[in-house]
Amino acid sequence: MRPCPDAAMIFAAGFGTRMGALTQARPKPMITVSGRPLIDYAVALADDAGIARKVVNLHYLGAQIRAHLAHRPDISFSDEAAGILDTGGGLRAARSLLGGDAAFTLNSDAVWTGPNPLPVLRARWQTGAARVVMALAPVTAIKERTGPGDFTMDKTGRIVRRGGDMVYLGAQIMDLHALDGMPTGAFSLNRVWDVLIAQGSAEGVIHLGGWCDVGHPAGIAEAEQMVKAATCA
């Protein structure tokens, strides 16, 4: 059984342009769902999974996020003040803070219910050999989703190609050495995924609870309904 990472990168540097006026004066991770900022939902998942080290990247109105989390000594910040680095560049810039050879990554613009996805990813990582393990859900389970999904996964859990019937939910464990050889500066993790899929070294696990993308205004009300339903269940 291979060792599991004990660090998580929480992506929080984006401009939140799909939110329109809601992000003119605050970053998207500070938008509230059921009275809690989105960033708190991501941090709570990492806390619940027992992940000791968390790194949050910052760019657009990042001072608000830093101030909100300033009371947490277990959270470090990777400041992209010189220019936003996208997911791949942002993860690479945070490597010294994350430590180790692998890390969880978690988007900060989603709300989850049901099983915490991070321990599920951990279990798959420990018993397998893939260099990336992603949390996925069938496209039919995602409200407001139109068109195809992001990936196709075979019966063994191996991700075999881009596009298909599975949606990436914004949580994964990745071998950080997979970033070696990528372009300098800003780049997307899509480039890394393409390489790992071609190598047969990408796997997925299906999230059995609820999930909502809160990257657009309609997602706020949907996420609040989902949280309310889970609380009352």
pLDDT tens for 107-166 read 999 999 999 999 999 999 999 999 999 999 999 999 877 789 999 999 999 999 999 999
State the chain's maximal CA–CA distance in angstroms: 48
Helix (H, G, I), strand (E, B) or coil at 158: strand
Find the mean pLDDT for residues 89-118: 97
Is the CB of residue 84 less than 8 Å from the CB of residue 13?
yes
CA-based torsion, 119, 11, 212, 161: positive or negative: negative
Residues 52-69 have pLDDT tens digits of: 999 999 999 999 999 999
Whether the per-residue pLDDT at 173 is higher than 90: the answer is yes
The DSSP secondary-structure symbol of 183 reads P
* Residue 173 structure tokens: 């464990």
| Distance from C-alpha of 62 to C-alpha of 11, rounded to nearest angstrom | 11
Domain 7-232: which CATH number of 3.90.550.10, 3.90.1150.10, 2.60.40.10, 3.40.50.720: 3.90.550.10
Token pair of 79, please? 């400041």
Distance of alpha carbon 211 from alpha carbon 64, whole angstroms? 26
pLDDT at 74: 96
CA–CA separation, 205 and 145 (whole Å): 19
Percent of the chain with pLDDT over 70: 100
What SS3 class is residue 172?
strand
Domain chopping of the chain, boundaries: 7-232
Query: Which position has the token pair 């914004």?
Result: 170
**What are the start-end ranges of the E strands in 66-164?**
75-79, 102-107, 110-112, 132-138, 149-153, 159-164
